[in-house]
Amino acid sequence: MDLEQRRNWYSPVADIYYNARPHYPKALVDRSVALAQLASDASILEVGCGPGNATVAFAQLGFSMTCLEPNQDFCHLARQNCDRYPNVMICNTAFEEWELEAKQFNAVLSANAFHWIPPEIRYTKAAAAMRDNGFLILLWNLTPEPKYEVYQAIEEVYQAYAPSFSHYEGAEVQAEILQGFGQEILDSGCFRALVVEQTTCEVTYRLDDYLKLVSTFGKLEPPTKELLFAALRKKLEKLGEHVQLTFLSAVQVARKNG
């Protein structure tokens, strides 16, 4: 996906993304702060802050934050969500276009967004923005998924109306995805001493809230969305009023080389 697509990709669901997506476990946020040795006056550069899902968790700890987000709708929401934190600045720009402030930050943070940045840019520019011995902090919430038997019941609906939504990872595949992200950090040559901590999360959504979550997984034109959601609702109502989801959540922290 190129930068112009990224500027608008989530705009149709920007207003529900913050509440629909699971927030990052507080225990992992706290561990990332400890692993990155962040003092109370530390400065953080956040890449791809979205509407502030991770930003708020770090802002609450008092850090000075410069947060970059190319999507204008997300920027507006992030500013609203972080309004009470005077040390947080939200910038409507992409990391690629951001004018580098070399060696200014104790850490570079990215939550479910670093993979959007071209690989030839993300690691070298992140390292250049850090002070000596700075840290890269990557937070990940992988795709929340229902139990496999529930997925089997709704797969035909996805195939009929939105085939690109029809995929199932499971815990083993999600663990492999996280391992790949971690190996990429080390292979970049910019970072060392990678520490990874992950946990299995379970969340329960009401049916309406689950459909909102689904809408954040990709682009759907209004007629397709209406047909898909009606068919999903019909299938899922037979299974109960709630949908139980499981996913892997992780933090990856690595120290800048040099």
Query: Does residue 230 belong to any structural domain of this protein?
Result: no
Write phi, then psi, for 90 (nearest 5 degrees): -100, 125
CATH number, position 118: 3.40.50.150
Which pLDDT belongs to residue 1? 66
Query: Does residue 23 belong to any structural domain of this protein?
Result: yes
Query: Does residue 74 belong to any structural domain of this protein?
Result: yes
Each residue's pLDDT tens digit in the chain (258 positions)?
677 777 887 888 889 999 999 999 999 999 999 999 999 999 999 999 999 999 999 999 999 999 999 999 999 999 999 999 999 999 999 999 999 999 999 999 999 999 999 999 999 999 999 999 999 999 999 999 999 999 999 999 999 999 988 889 999 999 999 999 999 999 999 999 999 999 999 999 999 999 999 999 988 888 999 999 999 999 999 999 999 999 999 999 999 998
Each residue's pLDDT tens digit, 182-193: 999 999 999 999
Write phi, then psi, for 140 (nearest 5 degrees): -135, 130
pTM of the predicted structure, to 2 decimals: 0.94
Query: Token pair of 58, please?
Result: 């770090």
Q: 91 in helix, strand or coil?
A: strand
Query: Does residue 242 belong to any structural domain of this protein?
Result: no
The domain in which residue 124 lies consists of 3-141+169-201+247-256
Query: Does residue 100 belong to any structural domain of this protein?
Result: yes
The count of structural domains within the chain is 1
Q: 220 in helix, strand or coil?
A: coil
Which pLDDT belongs to residue 218? 84
For 103, 135, 165, the CA distances from 123, given in Å and listed in that order, are 14, 11, 30
Distance CA 85, CA 88 (A): 6
Query: Does residue 154 belong to any structural domain of this protein?
Result: no
Query: Does residue 232 belong to any structural domain of this protein?
Result: no
Identify which of 167, 163, 162, 142 has the alpha carbon closest to the alpha carbon of residue 229. 162
Identify which of 91, 127, 144 has the alpha carbon closest to the alpha carbon of residue 258. 127
Each residue's pLDDT tens digit, 90-149: 999 999 999 999 999 999 999 999 999 999 999 999 999 999 999 999 999 999 999 999
Query: Does residue 173 belong to any structural domain of this protein?
Result: yes
